[in-house]
Structure 1
């Protein structure tokens, strides 16, 4: 049986810094064209995600299923290649690796505390892996930075990944309200002109780490106080920890082993391509390690509040819990049954021809199929329904009423999604 977290299991964060982070999280000032924020794709109203299979980043408008892909010269050039990950419990002390492919890890490899895409150029002084993570969407062309020659942020990133962060920091600290808040909340910052991207990232980390804590679900009450689960959820619990084998990977207090597994989700979208590889595929963990043994493996997600964070899988292939449960039980059979209509992709006619083009590459499909586990667990429709009921019992009682929520306005004066 998985344990249940306690307050002491989470990194401590300063409330005043978290308040700054709340504002920055929803402030489009951190994007190249000032038109998208962290909250656009990780919105409070949507359980901290965007409820899309593959998101619409820089150039889009609106949030969630209603987000549009833009028009004319401002329309998006590419879908975000992976599903927006949930934010729940990322401040837990067990979290030492982030992103679907684990390309950010706690490590002293580069002398700055992390093994990351920024290598030795990641700045010193970040307070957690959450802070390090916050820096990368700002530098991603299709997420927040924008296209080359479009703005100074995109141009700086083109020179070197760390060249954009000082420009963003100046944008923030020259707004008087932000400058005053940083001086008040951060020891060692005596004037606004001392605010760097490190303080900005640390503030965002404080917000995410404090805001999205959740361990007050019916399951937690079952573990800590013996409060019985509903009958269907109890049956699902027994299956989850027993015959269905879910707990082999979804273990521990966060229901994840923090490891990487190839589960053969159907491939679609632009892929997370590498510069030397033009094929629109996503090789998962191998993209970070260059180890063939890691091909098509992705990080085991936490299942806490999973009922709030559909669609499911690294690319959001399944729109509901029964679909992803059935896939995990028998990946090969589910992969064969999957239909394109199951993907939640906002309309973008100019991308339609490439959305599913990878499926026509028979060699790539064969490689992916070879990585899919052959073992299957026979589950009836009643079994799947029971496991779904158990997963819904992992939803925190306070999950929809987080401490701070979405701000009505931000110091930059830009609109809040």
Structure 2
């Protein structure tokens, strides 16, 4: 270990800074010395480490638009039956996810692991096919693909800037990729729209998904508090008639970027030159992550994701999500979007900031712990053989139980999934696995649990707001 030589002898004035924390450039003070030069302390593998994230890597949201988006994010008015909000499946007290392997969407009751599947005619008809991902750092300028299968990306496929499930019917005026993403759960039957004949939103979706967005927009337009907030936040809005679904999506995007941009983890501090930011175990785990364990082969770059798609052979369960008109209960991953055989069972590499807060792990939440998902990556075939259904966080839904693990009854399908695995086994000791897990905990931002706006006490619609008890 080398030492630090400090140079520079000027005092740094502390100015009032009202920008979000992540937009401020951190400066660590060592008494009266504020500039540091790193000598022999730099690890030998430093060239393999990503550069530090900075505020310039992210879209800068307008605070007024973000505040408006906060209210919309927690407001159930954007769901077909007015019974579920974005926050229900992406709650800050649950790491911006829901704590479940496969979520319980429209028709469910409660929040997180305590959420139940409903009763009677209102009960859920299907589990959400995939795990609800965390919302950290989705305002990154370099981010170009979203959803586990990448069905939304920046492209000019339909001459509107995006390749999306809405194709040429995607609304105009969406400011960024996250804004485009935000409008799709609103029109997904089992997530927020509801079932056919239950409400006008679900009915419209059955004809064409873009028919539903004006209905949701009209709901917002008729709430005076929202009308005033939109007019104050956007120069082009003078009255309710000017509000569009794109404005709603842009506000949601502004909030998520403002609230959940994270670049102040111990690892970030280390990359910025604070060699004391990581413990010895975390340093050892970092060495393995960027070295012998091969994790950085996919979790690469400042965002710790190559934004590519890889088949890992995660234990399959649930209703799956497959190609259109495919009757099988399975999840074909990227192939469902690309229709290319080489993409079978491949899923997008997730970013890793705050990963310790977003259990369970995998595109279907197959593993409840970081230790479990790390070990699976090291030897997918062995891990798949040893996996037990009991570890999945699946609230009891008796009327769907026959479907939950149906794919395991199809030996040919299971053989196809095993044959598609692209990862070669890597042998590590238990101590080395633990070190990697310790490093993953070092990716948790110091302010990750705080947020800026937090959870509102009430929303303009007057509908209930999701609250959960923090552990």
Indicate the TM-score class for this superposition, using the shorter chain for normalisation.
over 0.9
Name the structure 1 match of 2:233.
Answer: 185
* CA RMSD across the alignment: 0.8
Name the structure 1 match of 2:275.
Answer: 227
**1:99-149 per-position Cα deviation (integer Å, ceiling 9, x unaligned):** 000000011111211000000000111000000000100110000000001
Does the residue aligned with 2:401 lie in a helix, a strand or coil? helix
Unaligned runs of 5+ in 1: none
Unaligned runs of 5+ in 2: 1-48, 467-471
Q: Report the Cα offset of residue 283 of structure 1.
A: 0.5
Indicate yes or no: 2:467 matched with 1:397.
no
Contact kept in structure 2, 1:157 and 1:164, CA below 8 Å? yes
Indicate yes or no: 2:424 matched with 1:381.
no
In structure 2, how many angstroms separate the alpha carbons of the residues matched to 1:128 and 1:233? 35
Q: Report the Cα offset of residue 3 of structure 1.
A: 2.2
Contact kept in structure 1, 2:105 and 2:127, CA below 8 Å? yes
**1:76-97 per-position Cα deviation (integer Å, ceiling 9, x unaligned):** 0100000001100000111110
Name the structure 2 match of 1:70.
Answer: 118
Name the structure 2 match of 1:152.
Answer: 200
Q: Report the Cα offset of residue 404 of structure 1.
A: 1.1
Partner of residue 173 from structure 1, selected from 218, 221, 225? 221
Partner of residue 332 from structure 2, selected from 264, 279, 283? 283
Q: Report the Cα offset of residue 4 of structure 1.
A: 2.0
Does the residue aligned with 1:261 lie in a helix, a strand or coil? strand
TM-score (norm 1): 0.99
**1:174-213 per-position Cα deviation (integer Å, ceiling 9, x unaligned):** 1000001101111111111210101000000000111111
TM-score (norm 2): 0.88
Name the structure 2 match of 1:415.
Answer: 464
Does the residue aligned with 2:153 lie in a helix, a strand or coil? strand
In structure 1, how many angstroms separate the alpha carbons of the residues matched to 2:60 and 2:156? 22
In structure 1, how many angstroms separate the alpha carbons of the residues matched to 2:270 and 2:81? 48
Partner of residue 315 from structure 1, selected from 364, 367, 372? 364
In structure 2, how many angstroms separate the alpha carbons of the residues matched to 1:304 and 1:122? 30
Partner of residue 303 from structure 1, selected from 339, 348, 352? 352
Contact kept in structure 2, 1:305 and 1:394, CA below 8 Å? yes
In structure 2, how many angstroms separate the alpha carbons of the residues matched to 1:336 and 1:251? 28
Runs of 4+ in 1 over 3 A off after TM superposition: none
Name the structure 2 match of 1:118.
Answer: 166
Does the residue aligned with 1:225 lie in a helix, a strand or coil? coil
**1:231-268 per-position Cα deviation (integer Å, ceiling 9, x unaligned):** 11111011111100001100111111111000110100
Indicate yes or no: 2:390 matched with 1:356.
no
Contact kept in structure 2, 1:332 and 1:373, CA below 8 Å? no
**What is the number of equivalent residue pairs in this alignment?**
417
Partner of residue 95 from structure 2, selected from 27, 43, 47? 47
Does the residue aligned with 2:289 lie in a helix, a strand or coil? helix
Contact kept in structure 2, 1:332 and 1:374, CA below 8 Å? no
Indicate yes or no: 2:254 matched with 1:254.
no
Greater share of residues in helix:
1
